[in-house]
Chains A and B, each alone.
Chain A
Amino acid sequence: MSKQLRVAIVGCGKIADAHVEAIQNNPEAVLVGVCDREILMADQLASRFGLSNFYDDCDRMLATERPDVVHITTPPHSHLDLARISLNAGCHLFVEKPVAVDYAHTKALVDAAEAAQRKLTVGYMYLFDAEAVRLRELLHTGVLGDIVHIESFYGYDLQGPYATALLADPKHWVNALPGGLLQNVLDHLLNKIVEFLPEGEVQVQAVPLRRSAAAKADQSGLLVDELRMVMAAGGVSAYATFSANVRPMAHFVRVCGTKNTVKLDITTSTIHFERVPTLPSAVGRLVPPFQQTADSLRGAARNVSRFMRSEFHFFDGLNRLTQQFYRSIANDTEPPIPYSQILRVQLVLDEVIQQIGRAAA
Chain B
Amino acid sequence: MTIVLVTGAGGFLGPSVVERLLTRSDLIIRCMVRSSVSLRLQQLVSRHPDRIEIVPGNLLSATHITGVLRDVDTVFHLAAGLRGSPADIFLNTVVASKQLLSAISDVNSVRRVVLISSFSVYGAATQPKGALIDEEFALDAHPERRDPYSFAKARQEQLFVAAASAQHSFELITVRPGVIYGPGGGGMSTRVGLRLPGMLLHLGRNNLLPLTYVENCAEAVAVAGTQPYPAPHRIVNVHDDDLPSSRRYLNLYRSHVEKLRFLTLPYSATMLLARMVEWYHAYSKGQLPALITPYKAAALWKGNRFSNARLKAMGWRQIVPTRDALMLTFEHLKDSAETPAADAATKLRRSQSTVGLYPHPSPPSLQLAASTDRSCAQ
Contacts and interface: CB of A to CB of B under 8 A. Distances in A.
Interface size class of B (residues with CB under 8 A): 20 to 34
Interface string A165-177: 1001101000000
Interface stretch (A94-102, A305-313, A347-355): A305-313
B287 A307 contact: yes
A17 B148 CA distance: 12
B205 interface: no
Contacts of B152: 44
Contact of B285 (A40, A41, A165, A313): A313
B34 interface: yes
A247 interface: no
Interface string A143-184: 000000000000000000110010011010000000000000
Contacts of A3: none
A48 B84 contact: no
Nearest to A165: B84
A198 interface: no
A277 interface: no
Interface string A97-115: 0000000000000000000
A21 interface: yes
Contacts of A47: 144, 151
A168 B91 contact: no
A14 B285 contact: no
A41 B144 contact: no
Interface residues of A, number: 24
A25 interface: yes
B202 interface: no
A274 to B, nearest CB: 31
Contacts of B155: 40, 44
Contact of B91 (A21, A41, A162): A41
A17 B94 contact: no
Interface string B24-45: 0000000000111000000000
B272 interface: no
B95 A40 contact: yes
Nearest to A312: B287
Contacts of A21: 285-286
B98 interface: yes
B58 A17 contact: no
Contact of B87 (A12, A169, A310): A12
A38 interface: yes
A162 B87 CA distance: 12
A17 B98 CA distance: 22
Nearest to A307: B287
A16 interface: yes
A99 to B, nearest CB: 21
Is chain A's binding surface mostly helix, strand, loop or mixed?
helix
B287 A310 contact: yes
A48 B144 contact: yes
A40 B283 contact: no
Contacts of A310: 283-285, 287
B108 to A, nearest CB: 24
Contact of A161 (B61, B84, B284): B84
A45 interface: yes
B90 A41 contact: yes
A13 interface: yes
B47 interface: no
A244 to B, nearest CB: 18
A44 B35 contact: no
B83 interface: yes
Given A161-B83, A162-B84, A168-B34, A13 B91 contact: yes
B363 interface: no
A12 B151 CA distance: 16
B46 interface: no
A238 to B, nearest CB: 33
A120 B314 CA distance: 62
Contacts of A162: 84
A16 B87 contact: yes
A12 B85 CA distance: 12
Nearest to A16: B87
A44 B90 contact: yes
Contacts of B86: 17, 44, 48
Interface in B275-316: 283-287
A30 to B, nearest CB: 16
A96 B61 CA distance: 25
Contacts of B286: 21, 25, 313
B287 A13 contact: no
B343 interface: no
Nearest to A313: B287
B88 interface: yes
B85 A14 contact: yes
B281 to A, nearest CB: 10
Given A13-B91, A14-B88, 8 more contacts: A12-B87, A17-B87, A21-B286, A38-B95, A44-B90, A48-B144, A161-B84, A313-B286
The 4 A-B residue pairs with the shortest CB-CB distance in the complex, in nearest-first order: A310-B284, A168-B35, A14-B85, A44-B90
Interface of B: 34-36, 58, 60-61, 83-88, 90-91, 94-95, 98, 144, 148, 151-152, 155, 283-287
26 contacts: A12-B87, A13-B88, A14-B85, A14-B87, A16-B87, A17-B85, A17-B87, A21-B285, A38-B95, A40-B94, A41-B90, A41-B91, A44-B90, A45-B87, A47-B151, A161-B83, A161-B84, A162-B84, A169-B34, A171-B60, A307-B287, A310-B284, A312-B287, A313-B285, A313-B286, A313-B287
